[in-house]
Structure 1
Amino acid sequence: MGGITTAEPVKAAHQWPVPPQDGYTVDDLFTLPGLPPHTELIDGSLVFARPQRRFHARMIDLLVTGLSRSAPSDVEVEREMTVILDRRNGPEPDVLVVRAEAATDLEQTRFQASDLLLAVEVVSPDSEARDRESKPQKYAAAGIPNFWLVEVAGSDRHPVVRVYELDPLSKSYKLTGIHHDRLKISVPFTIDLDITLDALKRRA
């Protein structure tokens, strides 16, 4: 009579860290082993990046290239770097304009909110609520003076850039312009950038 065998328990390929009772802190964000690239910390919770759409990646490239061409010498243009807002929030804007003195070396992994002149979010389907609501509120509360929200519009799915400036009294952003074909503004510095669908598709 054959003996009864039991199957070995299936082990997960990867064990996610168990969050502490009060949530994670920015210190955890930089010390926990094995976190996926571009992990963000929002209200003490780790947020993992999903695979990017080509629109998202191309739009970041277009903005970084265009901003870098017109940026004055006292600022730096960065992409996808963590910004420390407070102990429980370390989001990663898609594009950042920071004061040049804050960019210390090539080993740098983060900036402080006070280093930023501009934060840009390119909306992704999996992060719409964060990009449109929670992140702008947090950036404004932290005093980041300018915020852009980039989305797609129309049947041809062309880029649209909504430009916001901080009202320092209310600590909230006010919409100053909606740009479909050309992004032409003077804050945080003079920018004149082709943001048409053709420009997005064009190779640099």
Structure 2
Amino acid sequence: MIAERLEKATPENWMFPPEEGWTADQVEDLELPFDWELVDGVVVVRGRTVPWHNYVRRRIERHLEDALREPYDVLSEQCVLIDKYNPPVPDIVVYDKRGIDLFEAKYIPVEKAVLIVEVVSPGSRQDDRVRKPAMYAAAGVPYYWRVERGEDNLPEVHEYWLHRERGEYIPCPERPCHVGKLETDRPFPVAIDLTALLKL
């Protein structure tokens, strides 16, 4: 049982997790010919993203980076360690960089995350709308943005704040859905012209 618990996931055995599930350390070196994520100790194939998704993610990350205030930093496609069985890879994470060694860190600890942004794509609708926000809220991440593709193909940003007593997200009271322009002061002031986001 101990040997089973200590083994590493490989391209040959990843689909047969130990009884308790794989841990983040056991899959950290796993290389597979597709994008994947560890969910409750099980390796799960991630839906393929489209250029719209990737372009929007990159542009929002750039705007957040331009608006950063100390002590925050921003990364895209970076594991956030919820627990050893759940290191999700959000599209964008804004985090408190204090105490994190850039050269040694494998993950962003969830207690350091202050804002997580997920850009919804056809293969991630259920995850981005239901599973992941519930998981991030339960872990105490203060703010969550869900970016949807509007009917005009422009991004719409749904802004959520953590209701700490209930342990779940509630829509931002002032403006739950940003269309045309995103303006918020949480976790720091940022303004994004959503109508110009896709201009080449």
- Relative to the length of structure 2, the TM-score reads 0.86
Q: How far does the alpha carbon of each residue in 1:92-121 deviate from its partner, in whole angstroms, 9 at most, with x for none?
A: 110010002154214533111101000111
- Alignment CA distance shift 1:175-1:101 (3 Å): same
Aligned to 1:84: 81
Aligned to 1:61: 58
Q: Structure 1 residue 158 and structure 2 residue 157: aligned?
A: no
Aligned to 2:164: 168
| CA distance in structure 2 between the partners assigned to 1:152 and 1:102 by the alignment | 36
The one of 17, 20, 30 aligned to 1:19: 17
Does structure 2 conserve the Cα–Cα contact (< 8 Å) formed by 1:102 and 1:115? Answer: no
Aligned to 2:3: none
Does structure 2 conserve the Cα–Cα contact (< 8 Å) formed by 1:38 and 1:80? Answer: no
| CA distance in structure 2 between the partners assigned to 1:112 and 1:150 by the alignment | 23
Q: Which runs of 5+ in 1 are unaligned?
A: 1-13
- Alignment CA distance shift 1:110-1:192 (3 Å): same
| CA distance in structure 1 between the partners assigned to 2:102 and 2:123 by the alignment | 32
- Percent identical pairs in the alignment equals 32
The one of 89, 95, 98 aligned to 2:95: 98
| CA distance in structure 2 between the partners assigned to 1:22 and 1:107 by the alignment | 27
Bigger radius of gyration, 1 or 2? Answer: 1
- Relative to the length of structure 1, the TM-score reads 0.84
Q: How far does the alpha carbon of each residue in 1:99-149 deviate from its partner, in whole angstroms, 9 at most, with x for none?
A: 021542145331111010001111111111111101000000000000010
What letter corresponds to residue 161 of structure 1 in structure 2? V
Aligned-residue offset at 1:36: 5.2
Aligned to 1:186: 185
What letter corresponds to residue 90 of structure 1 in structure 2? P
Q: Tell me, what secondary structure is at the counterpart of 2:177?
A: strand
Does structure 2 conserve the Cα–Cα contact (< 8 Å) formed by 1:144 and 1:166? Answer: yes
Aligned to 1:29: 27
What letter corresponds to residue 64 of structure 2 in structure 1? L
What letter corresponds to residue 22 of structure 2 in structure 1? Y
Does structure 2 conserve the Cα–Cα contact (< 8 Å) formed by 1:183 and 1:195? Answer: yes
Q: Structure 1 residue 134 and structure 2 residue 134: aligned?
A: no
Q: Structure 1 residue 112 and structure 2 residue 109: aligned?
A: yes
Q: Tell me, what secondary structure is at the counterpart of 2:43?
A: strand
Q: Structure 1 residue 48 and structure 2 residue 31: aligned?
A: no
Aligned-residue offset at 1:172: 0.4
Structure 1 ranges of 4+ moved more than 6 A: none
Superposed CA RMSD? 1.8
| CA distance in structure 2 between the partners assigned to 1:70 and 1:25 by the alignment | 35
What letter corresponds to residue 139 of structure 2 in structure 1? A
Aligned pair count reads 186
Q: How far does the alpha carbon of each residue in 1:29-55 deviate from its partner, in whole angstroms, 9 at most, with x for none?
A: 314x32457532112211233432011
